[in-house]
Amino acid sequence: MATLNEVYPVNYNVLSSDAFQQLDTTGFKSKYDEMIKAFEKKWKKGAKGKDLLDVAWTYITTGEIDPLNVIKGVLSVLTLIPEVGTVASAASTIVSFIWPKIFGDKPNAKNIFEELKPQIEALIQQDITNYQDAINQKKFDSLQKTINLYTVAIDNNDYVTAKTQLENLNSILTSDISIFIPEGYETGGLPYYAMVANAHILLLRDAIVNAEKLGFSDKEVDTHKKYIKMTIHNHTEAVIKAFLNGLDKFKSLDVNSYNKKANYIKGMTEMVLDLVALWPTFDPDHYQKEVEIEFTRTISSPIYQPVPKNMQNTSSSIVPSDLFHYQGDLVKLEFSTRTDNDGLAKIFTGIRNTFYKSPNTHETYHVDFSYNTQSSGNISRGSSNPIPIDLNNPIISTCIRNSFYKAIAGSSVLVNFKDGTQGYAFAQAPTGGAWDHSFIESDGAPEGHKLNYIYTSPGDTLRDFINVYTLISTPTINELSTEKIKGFPAEKGYIKNQGIMKYYGKPEYINGAQPVNLENQQTLIFEFHASKTAQYTIRIRYASTQGTKGYFRLDNQELQTLNIPTSHNGYVTGNIGENYDLYTIGSYTITEGNHTLQIQHNDKNGMVLDRIEFVPKDSLQDSPQDSPPEVHESTIIFDKSSPTIWSSNKHSYSHIHLEGSYTSQGSYPHNLLINLFHPTDPNRNHTIHVNNGDMNVDYGKDSVADGLNFNKITATIPSDAWYSGTITSMHLFNDNNFKTITPKFELSNELENITTQVNALFASSAQDTLASNVSDYWIEQVVMKVDALSDEVFGKEKKALRKLVNQAKRLSKIRNLLIGGNFDNLVAWYMGKDVVKESDHELFKSDHVLLPPPTFHPSYIFQKVEESKLKPNTRYTISGFIAHGEDVELVVSRYGQEIQKVMQVPYEEALPLTSESNSSCCVPNLNINETLADPHFFSYSIDVGSLEMEANPGIEFGLRIVKPTGMARVSNLEIREDRPLTAKEIRQVQRAARDWKQNYEQERTEITAIIQPVLNQINALYENEDWNGSIRSNVSYHDLEQIMLPTLLKTEEINCNYDHPAFLLKVYHWFMTDRIGEHGTILARFQEALDRAYTQLESRNLLHNGHFTTDTANWTIEGDAHHTILEDGRRVLRLPDWSSNATQTIEIEDFDLDQEYQLLIHAKGKGSITLQHGEENEYVETHTHHTNDFITSQNIPFTFKGNQIEVHITSEDGEFLIDHITVIEVSKTDTNTNIIENSPINTSMNSNVRVDIPRSL
């Protein structure tokens, strides 16, 4: 028997027992990423196509990812160059997905044509069953045979044969690929053609990438490089021509034609155009490493109208004439409302979509459709409750309902988020009132998509809606990668105070995004984020028929002139009629953090900007001194009172060039020209003696291998004499061939300084207790100083000091209540899905964690200190070190989040390690907004009063990123005992504890009232109330359907009921929004118990699919009988009249003539069920069901005369709706009689949420 204490433990804020594994990883994006990582791991090792097919098969067969998205995933990793020594064929890999059977694998595997056939037929409204017959079979067989020969040769490392077959295959594909778009199937064959074109382009990539192994000469490689460009061009033109020909069929602007057109564009985008957009990236001449191109293209739903048929619009006035563009990320939906003078009808009058598109400044903007506009009559305006949207929890489906009383009234909108939660808005008339009927329209995003915005026509009240979708995989933040080439659509940027962003007059279908038509004098602003310091080449993909000019600026660096040539047709000609090309702007060192670049068009000649690409070089994590060049052309004044010419705690440089003049001791001005290369001494100082006269100093001609960098230029004079100067030009450079010098301490005073610091770590000479003011971070700083002592000069002393600092580190670990504060041990940490452990950072001796921007998943670390580790009436210190943090929130909670602070810690580099008693990190610096930044080291305190061992509040510690562009690198985290509380402090903490305890007990009372009745209902399902045992013999589907859980962990379908209870269980943890919390654990256990009961019910039922969870599978249908979903969400078999029926034949194993059986049916209307049995079906049992509502009826137990029974359901008079039907064995102890349950049930509409009965087992 499950008890309340068992399912609802007393412990405060507990996580579920499996919380480490219970991340929200069930969504498409998580599964897709998981699959990509598996692909990348195998591909890097030189895996064959069949190996990747095995990986994909798991996701395909479970239905987690559809075959088309699997192929897109494969294509995304084929640009990755495998490890040295392996030859992996990208062409044969993709072919193994198109035609898996030609390799003899997976005998039940469908080829991609079979998978896409239903979708293609729906798009083009043409039966393509005979498509394969229309393909030239002789040429097709020749193609497959050559593919097989090439693949076998590659697999066997027979490169001579592989080269021959590659050339043969290229020849066949060049001449015969048109067989896949035969006459009559020019559009229908397009998805197949695109798949084979993938293989052709990748085949040429194989020839270039594997040229040395395959034996191609340099001349042959040059030919292949030209040919791959021509092939991409030709295949792209063939696809776009056929696509546009198909699009021409939808020229009418009425609603019906628009819906067909929208569906055609949607399907072709997913099946064809997304592939075409990748083809240019297959050219290794420009894409030498793995490539990730983001898509911002949109697809739209059909126009849907939640109104009666006689009020639906069909005219062209509501059809949008503009192309739907990506707007940014949707963060809020609002609906304006109006009420008539009588106060009887209140409806939505418009939609406001609010978007987030300016990450660094956290700006939002909105797009309105008919928002708060007056269409007719006297209205009072208002606004419904807004629906806020978390950036990493987008909307994936919508449901709009209008309720009617002579006119549109009582509108409501319900949305489903990615994690299964819901949001809603409604327009409720002030007086309430009865409504005739509700009209509901629902729409869901295609797999892998999210809602970008909702469009409504401007002409009338909200009768006409279109959902515009974009890819879930398109992140809010433009995050650079040190491993991949990243391409970002230009439309992810914005134009500020220079008019609106304009697009070309025609849509561009082949880029995965809409290019920006940058007008003369307009500046595109593009913001991005880097998690690591690295060098990148920045380039643009553009189109310009006459060449053009412009300017480029990265952050606050100098303006750079751009002379952009005419784009040639080396790759593709877009639908806009211009050719796309690449233009390299330059190479730059980009430090970790947020950045902005600007591209200004400064010419009357046109320029279309498609995307901005970042090509990474090696990471500069090991040489963080490198930084962007700086140029200062403005005048810099210095004198005795202000001697600093330039300084930076963020950047340092190897080469400095100064021009100007100076005056000292009353002399006349003299010219000053100084050209310095970096010094070699560890303190980075270099002195230039300037005499009374013109100075031209040239120190060093080149960088030296062991040189260090400047980070400060100061003018001084040995005496107290006056001096002043003017710098008219200053240039600061880096030469990128220096290295970091590890200091070596060899002087006796340095040993003395370090020894003093080691001794100061301890509270006494016994050295068994740390000093109270010593942090874990400072211990590691002292360790680094000890390590820098010279072995040759101080070998003995160094060994003794190292023993002491090791002891200090052990004591630090013992006193730290956090487990793994340096992340040497992760067992106690809860981490966001994308948080990673890293090492080798100049500001940390130990490991640290990187909290990246929360692009797709929350970014956090969390740990709880149990109550048993604490002492009563004690103050505890919480401390840690943040190397770099932007929008990182520290939360420490016992009685209610006592510490909650968002910190901004700027990116800074380590200062040279010295023997002095200072850290290698810098002092607090100014942020971009000139406000004082937070220090790298934080320290706070929290007070603990009396211990609550039963409730176990403990101390909860967490760091998380709270803005989309935030990030952090942290380590040396501690919670340690400080001191006993004073009497006054004890009284203060007692008051806080009393308030906390009162709220805690109230919450438990409320939760208990909610879950106890459900607990009792579930206990009643099972024999001996054992949830792991068997359900009772009299349990029916009806019993399960009447059990209402307070909320749902996940929901897969739209449920237009929005009458939520006043109190909702907190499914997720209060801090970690992607992990199941204590209430979620309760619901999960309830759902598991119901799932087990449902499974047992299914196994008892002799009828297959008696609950119609898989439509009408296993049933033979006649007439108009069909599966349908009712307005309340109920799935039923509908027999509309007496001419429709459904039949199923069942066969009983281990048949017993004496075994009794019973029929139970839950239905509405008048119908009959007959069961025919015997050798010739001569025996008939009949049961009649006649009710005006959904009610369960059952017959008297009976026996069968044979093991085969035919069950026949028919309507007797009008509509007959069957919710479920069962035929079960009757226990020999059962004494049930024929009864009708007269309590109608509602299986979907409820005050809480319906039990999530599985729809597929």
How far is the C-alpha of 506 from the C-alpha of 322, rounded, in Å? 10
How far is the C-alpha of 291 from the C-alpha of 51, rounded, in Å? 21
CB proximity list for 662: less than 8 A, separation 6 or greater: 669, 670, 672, 690, 695, 715, 723, 724, 725, 726
How far is the C-alpha of 205 from the C-alpha of 79, rounded, in Å? 9
Instruction: Locate the DSSP E strands across 920-1045.
Output: 937-944, 955-961, 967-980, 1044-1045
SS3 337: strand
CB–CB of 1124/1132 below 8 Å?
yes
CB–CB of 969/849 below 8 Å?
yes
How far is the C-alpha of 1062 from the C-alpha of 652, rounded, in Å? 59
Query: What is the band of 959 on the pLDDT scale with cuts at 50, 70, 90?
Result: very high
748-759 helix and 776-787 helix, angle to the nearest 10 degrees: 150
CB–CB of 88/155 below 8 Å?
no
What the block records as the tokens of 294 is 């983001």
What the block records as the tokens of 636 is 């810099």
1110: burial class by Cβ within 10 Å (0-12, 13-18, 19+)? middle
The CA-based angle 404-407-412, given to 5 degrees, is 50
Query: What is the band of 1164 on the pLDDT scale with cuts at 50, 70, 90?
Result: very high
| Alpha-carbon distance values, 237 to 234, 241, 398, 965, 1213 (Å) | 5, 6, 37, 39, 59
CB–CB of 1044/1247 below 8 Å?
yes
Alpha helices, DSSP H, located in 1022-1061 = 1037-1041
CB proximity list for 470: less than 8 A, separation 6 or greater: 295, 296, 297, 298, 299, 326, 449, 450, 452
Of the candidates 1206, 1215, 1120, which has an alpha carbon nearest to the alpha carbon of residue 1167? Answer: 1215
What the block records as the tokens of 1092 is 């087990």
* Chain CA centroid to CA 923, Å: 36
How far is the C-alpha of 776 from the C-alpha of 811, rounded, in Å? 10
Compare 428 and 880 and report the one with higher pLDDT. 880
Residue 426 has pLDDT above 60, yes or no: yes
Architecture in CATH of 299-471:
Aligned Prism (2.100)
Residue 672: what pLDDT? 72
- CATH class, range 818-981: mainly beta
Dihedral angle computed from the Cα positions of residues 829, 834, 839 and 845, in that order, rounded to the nearest 10 degrees: -50
Return the exposure string of 744-759: e unless at least 16 CB atoms fall within 10 Å of the residue's CB, then b.
ebeeeebbebbbebbe
CB proximity list for 118: less than 8 A, separation 6 or greater: none
CB–CB of 150/165 below 8 Å?
yes
Q: Which of 61-70, 350-359, 515-524 has the highest mean pLDDT?
A: 515-524
Residue 2: what pLDDT? 60
Residue 19: what pLDDT? 43
| Residue 707, number of CB atoms within 10 A of its CB | 20
Of the candidates 326, 265, 254, which has an alpha carbon nearest to the alpha carbon of residue 296? Answer: 326
Instruction: Tell whether the torsion through CA atoms of 261, 264, 269 and 273 is positive or negative.
Output: negative
pTM: 0.73
CB–CB of 1201/1163 below 8 Å?
no
Residue 1053 has pLDDT above 70, yes or no: no
Query: What is the band of 991 on the pLDDT scale with cuts at 50, 70, 90?
Result: very high
Instruction: Locate the DSSP E strands across 1033-1125.
Output: 1044-1045, 1116-1118, 1122-1125
Predicted confidence (pLDDT) per residue in 293-303, tens digit: 999 999 999 88
Query: What is the band of 1241 on the pLDDT scale with cuts at 50, 70, 90?
Result: very low
315: burial class by Cβ within 10 Å (0-12, 13-18, 19+)? exposed
Residue 142 has pLDDT above 50, yes or no: yes
DSSP 545: S
| Alpha-carbon distance values, 298 to 244, 316, 654, 1221 (Å) | 17, 22, 47, 44
SS3 1026: coil
Predicted confidence (pLDDT) per residue in 630-685, tens digit: 555 556 777 777 777 766 544 566 777 777 777 776 666 777 777 676 554 544 45
What the block records as the tokens of 330 is 């949707």
How far is the C-alpha of 890 from the C-alpha of 866, rounded, in Å? 19
* Chain CA centroid to CA 512, Å: 18
CATH number of 485-619: 2.60.120.260
Residue 164 has pLDDT above 50, yes or no: yes
Compare 1059 and 720 and report the one with higher pLDDT. 720
SS3 1023: helix
Predicted confidence (pLDDT) per residue in 1020-1048, tens digit: 999 999 999 998 877 878 788 788 887 54
| Residue 44, number of CB atoms within 10 A of its CB | 16
Residue 1213: what pLDDT? 82
661 forms bridges with which residues in the sheet? 671, 726
Residue 100: what pLDDT? 55
Q: Residue holding tokens 């209540």?
A: 817
What the block records as the tokens of 312 is 């639906």
Q: Report the relative pairing of strands 955-961 and 874-893 from DSSP bridges.
A: antiparallel
Residue 753: what pLDDT? 93
Residue 600 has pLDDT above 90, yes or no: yes
How far is the C-alpha of 22 from the C-alpha of 77, rounded, in Å? 28
Average pLDDT over residues 335-339: 76
SS3 725: strand
Return the exposure string of 911-942: e unless at least 16 CB atoms fall within 10 Å of the residue's CB, then b.
bebbbeeebbbbeebeeeeeeebbbbbbeeeb
How far is the C-alpha of 796 from the C-alpha of 846, rounded, in Å? 25
How far is the C-alpha of 643 from the C-alpha of 646, rounded, in Å? 9
Q: Report the relative pairing of strands 670-677 and 695-699 from DSSP bridges.
A: parallel
- CATH class, range 1096-1250: mainly beta
- CATH class, range 28-288: mainly alpha
Largest distance between two CA atoms of the chain:
128
Residue 624 has pLDDT above 60, yes or no: no
Q: Residue holding tokens 């569906």?
A: 263
* Chain CA centroid to CA 565, Å: 37
CB–CB of 2/1026 below 8 Å?
no
How far is the C-alpha of 103 from the C-alpha of 101, rounded, in Å? 5
CB–CB of 137/118 below 8 Å?
no
Predicted confidence (pLDDT) per residue in 1092-1106, tens digit: 998 888 888 889 888
CB proximity list for 979: less than 8 A, separation 6 or greater: 874, 875
CB–CB of 867/946 below 8 Å?
no
The secondary structure of the chain in percent helix, strand, coil, rounded to multiples of 5, reads 25, 30, 45
554 forms bridges with which residues in the sheet? 597
CB–CB of 1090/1027 below 8 Å?
no
Residue 753 parent element (H or E): helix 748-759
821: burial class by Cβ within 10 Å (0-12, 13-18, 19+)? buried
Counted residue by residue, the chain has a size of 1257
End-to-end CA distance of the chain: 26
Average pLDDT over residues 96-116: 55
SS3 409: strand
Of the candidates 899, 887, 880, which has an alpha carbon nearest to the alpha carbon of residue 939? Answer: 880
Residue 1040: what pLDDT? 85
Residue 816: what pLDDT? 96
